Amino acid sequence: MNPAERLVYKTLVLTWPFYAVGALYVVGPVIAWLLGGLAILSLYLGPAMRKDLRVMGSIPPVIWAWILGMLVMLVALWVGHLDWSMGMKSTIKSSIGWAKGWALMALFPLAGALLPIRREVLVRGQCVIGMGTLVLAPIMLVAPFIGLPEKILTSPLKAVGGPGPEYFSVYFFTYDPSNWKPRWQFYAPWSPFAALLGVVMVLFALEEKTAKWRRIGIAAGVLMILASKSRMGIVGLTACTIGPRLLPLIFRGWMWQVGAIATASLAVTGPALIQGANDGISAFKNARADSTRVRATLQRIAGERWINEAFWFGHGRVQPGSHAVEYMPIGSHHTWWGLLFVKGVVGLVALLVPFVWQTLIALIDAAKGPRGRLPLGIMMTLTLLSFGENVEIEAYLLWPGLVVLGIHARELHDEKTGMVAASA
């Protein structure tokens, strides 16, 4: 491994030790700015850089879109603070929050696109995290039944600032307030996010070439999904792993014939399928009805206040919620409604453009062959996550997937520029 790969790998394999001291929220932004700075330095120095850290090519267009989009986020933040007269202190604090959140959505893909980091290093690192998860799982799973406390500690590192103390806390488990049954969140700040991290772990493990590590990664990812008791995790496990692998079938002639037959049969089976889908959606929502109600109310309030009060640049930051939403902040629990509330239409477009662009290139490449499976699975997971969480405050744990997006963009860009050069 070259120095960049060693930095990435050691950070991954130390995930559980970092979590044990409540340092993960600090480590994520630090590694982002280190890798991003190293990528920019390598790009600037060019041939003067040591051989094993030289840039792998120019910055791909989609990575430029991420960079420009996240810079627009910062501008929208400043304008929003000015519009609502929040003061210099609040603006500086929010700008630091941008550097620990939205900036990571550009820095990690940039590092993956420029630095010589191989997918295999990230894949093995995720499987090593999985091994740590399986080793620690027995004590975590029995903790609520043998009288161990929910929370072990809250790290003094919370003094650096963050979205909340849960980002610096270490837990055995937590109780679901809707039914007071235990749920597990592993090294995530809460259980639903742990489920999506489990989906990401399975996606990486499926790319592992060594059978032992592949089984470890898959087992750990599935355990995280099931123990978190998250509906979104179950959906992600099915859709994000199977979907990318079925895409190549669209180029098969027999698949079009099957599709034509299935379409024709909808005349008979359509009503039953629609009713079944509606019943499934109702059951999905009713599985945790309180959570569904709170999220729907948060989205409605965010939408109404956005369109009536701050259409273009938003409110500048999330705002406290009332008892109707169990005091959850307005602008949280949904990336897109949250963006509209906090940063307005400008912020929404700043994320939507690179997000859709990255998804499309992964979709097309996955339809052509296996290279696009992992990037597409990651984008599908991010899409799921965006409808239930705020992705920017969770980028500090999603960073291996973001680096893979940069690697994939580089692979496609090098292939395209190589073909152009060959034709010339």
User: Lowest-pLDDT range, 16-25, 99-108, 273-282, 347-356?
Assistant: 273-282
Q: Is the pLDDT of residue 137 over 50?
A: yes
Residue 146 has pLDDT above 80, yes or no: yes
Helices (H), 50-118: 61-83, 87-100, 104-114
Among residues 396, 409, 418, which one has the least CA distance to residue 65? Answer: 409
Contacts of 59 (CB under 8 A, 6+ apart): 43, 67, 110, 113, 114
Instruction: Based on DSSP, count helices (H) and strands (E) in the chain, helices before strands.
Output: 15, 4
Provide the β-strand partners of residue 154: 169
Q: Is 249 helix (H, G, I), strand (E, B) or coil?
A: helix
d(CA 79, CA 355): 23
Tokens standing for residue 184: 């597990």
Residues with Cβ within 8 Å of residue 255, at least 6 apart in sequence? 249
| Tokens coding 311 | 């259409």
Which has the minimum average pLDDT: 106-120, 125-139, 302-316? 302-316
Inform me whether the pLDDT recorded for 134 exceeds 90. Answer: yes
CA angle 406, 410, 413 (to 5 degrees): 135
Looking at beta carbons, which pairs linking 206-213 to residues 24 or more positions away fall under 8 Å?
206/241, 206/373, 206/374, 207/119, 207/123, 207/373, 207/374, 208/123, 208/124, 208/127, 209/120, 213/124, 213/127, 213/128
Specify the higher pLDDT residue, 330 or 291: 330
**Model pTM?**
0.90
Please give the C-alpha separations between residue 289 and each of 141, 160, 174, 274, 335, in angstroms, as whole numbers: 25, 36, 19, 22, 21
pLDDT at 12 over 70: yes
Q: What is the mean pLDDT of the chain?
A: 87
Q: How big is the CA angle at 10 (ends 5 and 11), to the nearest 5 degrees?
A: 100
Give the pLDDT confidence of 247-301 residue by residue, as tens digits.
Answer: 887 665 545 555 555 555 555 555 654 555 455 445 544 545 556 777 788 888 8
Residues with Cβ within 8 Å of 138's Cβ and at least 6 positions away in sequence, in order, are: none
DSSP strands (E only) in 155-294? 169-171, 174-175, 182-183
Longest dimension (CA), the chain: 71
Domain residue ranges of the chain, discontinuous segments joined by +:
3-269+295-423
pLDDT (tens digit per residue) in 169-211: 999 999 887 778 899 999 999 899 999 999 999 999 999 999 9
Mean pLDDT of 396-409: 96
Q: Of 160-164, 235-239, 372-376, where does mean pLDDT reach its minimum? A: 160-164
**pLDDT above 90 for 58:** no
Separation CA 146–CA 149 (nearest Å) = 9
pLDDT classification of 423: cutoffs 50, 70, 90 = low
Q: Is the dihedral of CA 79, 82, 87, 88 positive or negative?
A: positive
Residue 391 CA to residue 355 CA, distance in Å, equals: 12
Type of residue found at 297: T
The CA–CA distances, whole Å, from 88 to 95, 101, 103, 264, 339 equal 10, 20, 20, 63, 22
DSSP 52: G
Angle separating helix axes 191-205 and 373-386, nearest 10 degrees: 170
Q: Give percent of the chain with pLDDT exceeding 70.
A: 87
Contact partners, residue 21, CB within 8 Å, separation at least 6:
155, 157, 170
Q: Alpha-carbon distance 401 to 374, whole Å? A: 9
pLDDT at 254: 47
> How far, in Å, CA of 388 to CA of 393, rounded?
13
Q: Tokens 């963050």 sit at which residue?
A: 162
pLDDT at 67: 97
| Torsion angle in degrees (nearest 10) through CA of 197, 200, 201, 205 | 180
What mean pLDDT do residues 57-83 have?
94
